Structure 1
Amino acid sequence: MPLAEAAAARRPLNVFVHLAADKDAVAWREAWLSRKLVGINDETPYGYGRATSMGCTVKFSRTTPEGLAAKVVRLGLRVLTGFDVIHAFRQRRALLAADVVWTHTESQYLAVAAVLSLTKRRPRLLGQSVWLFDRWKTLTPLHKLLYRRLIRHVDVLTVHSSVNLAVARALFPDKRVVLVPFGIPSEQMMAPVARAGKPFHILSIGNDRHRDWTCLASALDGLPNAMSAILSGTAPRVLIKGRPNLQIMQARTNSELFAHFAEADVVCVPLKPNGHASGITVIQEAVLAGVPVVASATGGLEGYFGADAVRYVPPGDPRALRDALQEIARNPEDARARALRAQQHMVDAQIGAEFFIRRHVELSREMLAR
């Protein structure tokens, strides 16, 4: 190891994590402690606080109290630009005092880059993209120009899928772009069991814009012996009409969510084509719960779990989705074996929050050593 890298690795790394204005770390922890934070989550937002055990000091952006007029101006500017520069500007002292700034989506790193463009102090900036490269072609020329200028201030771009990795590298050939697989806390796993439930219980979860609820509803039309629960705040309730085997609701607590996992014979993740591994959080939650998974083959999900661990179907194909669900209903032991392989792969490939955060630390130290 070069001397500069060795010295950088020995000293504590001062990290500032800049998140969306509504992701206050204190409020997050309170919700986590009260079990009102639905899903398999870490005590700190997205697990970034784990870096404290990896030789880092970590500070998070805070939600700033504001009046109605200030909020309208802030949100209006966010709509115009696509990022919340006022929220980032309010955090300027903390982020400028850091060695490195981490962000969770492009909305945050573009805002931080805008602040950095106004100052001589330059902490390193790790810019994590989720949706930007999916929608790059639909951006206005003005937005593309603005984002290209701001991305000059980003030291390393990270993405969650091989699909977006290729897009980002083509768009920014002079910028370092790294694939960092997203992961959730994976320390606890439930042993898969062969489920032969009657009726056959299908669970589907998510609020992402790329969920294909219409495809799932159409697949259910040929499954009279199945019951499906969609846990979502965005799924159109009109899909329930004429489908007595479909429910749309929300899990308000983790107890409710885990009860649904315990009842499910399969977790279904129907997706529209995308490039950002949409659905990977729910897939990991299902794997940890020991439930077999059927998912649309899109977004680079196969880079996380292969076809021996997750049953993939083409996106937008209700018949293929129906056939896959029927296959699991007919062969619950095969489905259990697939769930077991998914869990073993999650361990072997280190898919989870621990590795996700460790890669942030490693990349940060590499940036500082250069």
Structure 2
Amino acid sequence: MSIYPRLKKWGYSVQPSDGRSRVLFLFESGRSESTWKKRFLNGEVADEYPYGLDPKSFDDWSISFARDYFTSGIWSLLRRALRKTVRTDVIHVLFNIRSIYKSDVVISHTEDTCVAYLLIGRFFRNLPPIVAQVVWAGETQNLNVSLQSRLARFSLRSAEVVVTHSTLNAAALSQWLGRPVQVAQYGIDPSPFLRNRKFAADSKRSHLNAEVNSAPVVICAGNDPQRDWDLLREIAVHRRDLSFLVCSRTAPITLNDQVNISVISNARFSDIINIYAVSHCSVIPLKENKHASGLTVALESTAAGVPFVATSGGGLEEYFSNSYRGFISGDCVEDWSRAIDYAISSDGRADLLESSSGLIYDRELTNIGYGKRMLACASDALSTADSVKSEEA
């Protein structure tokens, strides 16, 4: 029996009072609006709202965010067991079921919520349509016969819209799922970096004298599993004349054993902003991937006026102009060394920054642009759901 009639009895409106479609961003646990605001006030993140998606910036939609429910006792044990078994947060989605039924359409952020949502939809009738944003499921190492992979494939086939961040990942997912997959390019809020750019534009640069002994500063930021920390270590060994500042919660602490690497695992956003301001270039060494890993750091570097050097492939290049010379094929340390020298040199820095100048705003690779693209996908999901209902009528 559908829970929807009971929700109406509890006083939940069937239609939005102001005529706008209601969208729920079903982010992972720990990314609710209230939790995010606390992190913002603590200087940990750049924006007051999750991923800069301020509801006031999207007048045509009534936007809300999933709440955090921190479990204990039997619920905590069940939650951990389910996450270990199916690698998706079923309990988090179940606890948000009322918010889900109050919405017209749901947008997920990763497989952590969308797969759980679609599995639950097999038991709860009349769930709103979903825009299932997928990040990792299309990676080669995940296209196997594991229980988690089969559940993801089974679930995602029933989503109204499946979306990802790169055409490379979309092609892999489409082939794997046997259905269309859309691309919605990601974006960041560039304003905090632009405000600090006057420091990054200083040709003399500050050098954090006490910490890095006046050596040129290279920032390496990022937390995703596709960072190639072994390659970074090799580069640092080869280039002892450079100081590498690693801002990451996931980087191995053993990187600190290398004399010219400093790992800052608890850096706040305000700290990272200041490190960009004194950095000569940014390096983004990556393992093989399809989901444009390293994109956030590449966009941050661009907004901060810091040239970046990154591993080519993985869908990252499609965000930048073909003339950008900061992409390196393979893991040859000498190639990376030459690319870093070019990025640090006056001519190289000017060339790389000119190639990416204005790119974030011209291509709307901003948080607002990203929100608009996801909401366009939400419109598609609503249209798809309406079409299905018409056919069933």
TM-score by length of 2: 0.84
Q: Does residue 182 of structure 2 align to residue 178 of structure 1?
A: yes
Unaligned runs of 5+ in 1: 1-7
With over 3 angstroms needed to count, the CA separation of the structure-2 counterparts of 1:360 and 1:220, relative to structure 1, is: same
- 1:60 pairs, out of 60, 65, 86, with 65
In the alignment, the residues of structure 2 paired with residue 144 and residue 299 of structure 1 have an alpha-carbon distance, to the nearest angstrom, of 21
Q: Which residue of 1 aligns with 2:269?
A: 254
Summarize deviations over 1:298-324 as a string: whole Å, max 9, x none: 211111113534501113322211111
- 2:357 pairs, out of 327, 343, 348, with 343
Q: Contact between 1:15 and 1:56, CA under 8 Å: does it hold in 2?
A: yes
Structure 1 outlier segments of 4+, above 6 Å: none
Report the Cα offset of residue 200 of structure 1. Answer: 1.5
Q: Which residue of 2 aligns with 1:108?
A: 113
With over 3 angstroms needed to count, the CA separation of the structure-2 counterparts of 1:13 and 1:252, relative to structure 1, is: same
Report the Cα offset of residue 170 of structure 1. Answer: 0.9
- 2:221 pairs, out of 205, 224, 247, with 205
Report the Cα offset of residue 55 of structure 1. Answer: 1.0
| Identical pairs, percent | 23
Report the Cα offset of residue 21 of structure 1. Answer: 1.6
Report the Cα offset of residue 136 of structure 1. Answer: 5.6
Indicate the SS of the match to 1:176. Answer: coil
With over 3 angstroms needed to count, the CA separation of the structure-2 counterparts of 1:220 and 1:148, relative to structure 1, is: closer
How many residues get paired? Answer: 356
Q: Which residue of 1 aligns with 2:383?
A: 369
In the alignment, the residues of structure 1 paired with residue 325 and residue 124 of structure 2 have an alpha-carbon distance, to the nearest angstrom, of 48
In the alignment, the residues of structure 2 paired with residue 270 and residue 185 of structure 1 have an alpha-carbon distance, to the nearest angstrom, of 23
Q: What does 1:151-230 correspond to in 2, within 5 Å?
A: 151-173=156-178, 175-187=179-191, 189=194, 190=197, 193=201, 195=203, 199-230=215-246
Report the Cα offset of residue 163 of structure 1. Answer: 1.4
With over 3 angstroms needed to count, the CA separation of the structure-2 counterparts of 1:201 and 1:145, relative to structure 1, is: closer
Q: Which residue of 2 aligns with 1:326?
A: 341
Report the Cα offset of residue 29 of structure 1. Answer: 1.0
Report the Cα offset of residue 259 of structure 1. Answer: 1.7
Indicate the SS of the match to 1:247. Answer: strand
Q: Does residue 22 of structure 2 align to residue 14 of structure 1?
A: yes
- 1:146 pairs, out of 151, 155, 173, with 151
RMSD over aligned CA atoms reads 2.2
Summarize deviations over 1:312-352 as a string: whole Å, max 9, x none: 111332221111112223x2233133224313122211111
With over 3 angstroms needed to count, the CA separation of the structure-2 counterparts of 1:50 and 1:285, relative to structure 1, is: farther
Q: What does 1:17-28 correspond to in 2, within 5 Å?
A: 17-28=25-36
With over 3 angstroms needed to count, the CA separation of the structure-2 counterparts of 1:211 and 1:232, relative to structure 1, is: same
Q: Does residue 88 of structure 2 align to residue 80 of structure 1?
A: no
With over 3 angstroms needed to count, the CA separation of the structure-2 counterparts of 1:169 and 1:265, relative to structure 1, is: same
Q: Does residue 38 of structure 2 align to residue 34 of structure 1?
A: no
In the alignment, the residues of structure 1 paired with residue 354 and residue 41 of structure 2 have an alpha-carbon distance, to the nearest angstrom, of 30
